[in-house]
Amino acid sequence: MIRGLDFYNLCFSIIHKAKNVTVMYGEVSGIDTENGIVSSADEQYKADYIFSSVLLQPPMLQKGQYYLLQHFRGWWIETEDDVFNPAEADIMNFKTSQQHGCTFVYVLPVTKRRALVEYTLFTEEELQPDEYDQGLKTFISEELKITSYSIHEVENGIIPMTNIRFPAQQGKVVFMGTAGGQTKASTGYTFQFIQKQTAAIVAALIKNGSPEIPATPKRFGFYDSVLLRVLHERKLSGAELFYKMFLKNKASKVLRFLDNESSFTEELQIMNSTNKMVFVPAAIKELL
């Protein structure tokens, strides 16, 4: 776990020490993608390349494409007694109601009495605020067996899970992060992919003077589309899907698969551990 504020502070502490970097703030009024010009209310800036984490046009959903949301609410709670093991994180705990669709909880302890408990869903629609709160209350009381605690912080978030193809570049604008297709469609994982993308772009600029980097192998996009179809059609619960994936494979192998770093042999082994009655028809539909 890396807290956002800590990460931003670290990055800006490095940026502010760089004499060749100027940080400026302003409202962008227009972008000329072909000529590499960014306009504000009173200035224009021209560059060889413009790096943007914001799409210039909203994406349009096409036939065979899916758009789910990974949405969550987290509570930083503190207990009166020692109940957590700060050396262990509980990831994707599905011992919670699946009435809304694929639902799980993270428990990330930082001390024996303080932890982040995060209620997460993979569905098409957000919940009402009180539904997230009820999900957290139920999990904390029934699964963690905690009855007395205080809530110190609340966090909320939404991450797109979609197989829409985002453009890597438009003219002189290079897209970064989610806008550049760096959110894994089937899981919402983004942070690690952004680190790999930015490192690859820097290496390409140093070596070739161009930010163009190799595209992710297409087979990973295919796997994501199949998994999104299964989640969208609800032919298999997310609990059963991910539980069996981790139960029948080494965690390190599954994590390489989810990071798009697995070998084809490892991918065949993982696919062989899934429910073939559900995944084979879904894969065939994606190929047609």
The tens digit of pLDDT for each residue in 70-97 reads: 999 999 999 999 999 999 999 899 999 9
Query: What value does the mean pLDDT take over residues 135-141?
Result: 98
Handedness of CA 91, 92, 94, 99 (dihedral sign): positive
Does the pLDDT at position 22 exceed 90?
yes
Domain boundary among 208, 230, 263: 208
* Closest to 111 measured CA to CA, from 84, 75, 89, 88: 84
Residue whose entry in the numeric block shows the structure tokens 């999900």? 135
| Alpha carbons 278 and 110: distance in angstroms, whole number | 39
Query: Which strand ranges, in their side-by-side order, compose the sheet holding 28-32?
Result: 28-32, 37-40, 44-46
251 shares a domain with 277 = yes
Q: Is the pTM of this model over 0.85?
A: yes
Distance from CA of residue 228 to its chain's centroid?
14
With bands split at pLDDT 50, 70 and 90, how would you rate the model's confidence at 62?
A: confident
Average pLDDT of the segment spanning 146-155 = 96
Verify that 75 and 193 share a domain, yes or no: no
- The pLDDT of 179-188, averaged and rounded, is 93
Give the start-end residues of each E strand in 87-172.
90-93, 102-109, 114-123, 149-162, 169-170
Domain that holds residue 115: 67-161
**77 and 117 in contact (C-beta within 8 Å)?**
yes
Statement to judge: residues 52 and 89 lie in one domain: no
Q: What is the pLDDT of residue 264?
A: 95
Residue 127 backbone phi and psi in degrees, to 5? -100, 170
What does the pLDDT read at residue 288? 86
Q: Is residue 73 part of a domain?
A: yes
Task: Classify residue 236: in a domain, yes or no.
Answer: yes
pLDDT for the residue 233: 87
* 153 and 167 fall within a common domain: no
Determine the Cα–Cα distance for residues 154 and 96; give it in Å rounded to an integer: 20
Give Dmax over CA atoms of the chain in angstroms: 62
* Count of domains forming the chain: 3
How many alpha carbons lie under 13 Å from residue 40 in its C-beta half-sphere?
Answer: 8
Q: Mean of the per-residue pLDDT values for the chain?
A: 93
User: What separation in angstroms does the CA of 48 have from each of 169, 188, 190, 210?
Assistant: 13, 31, 27, 9
Are residues 233 and 274 located together in one domain of the fold?
yes
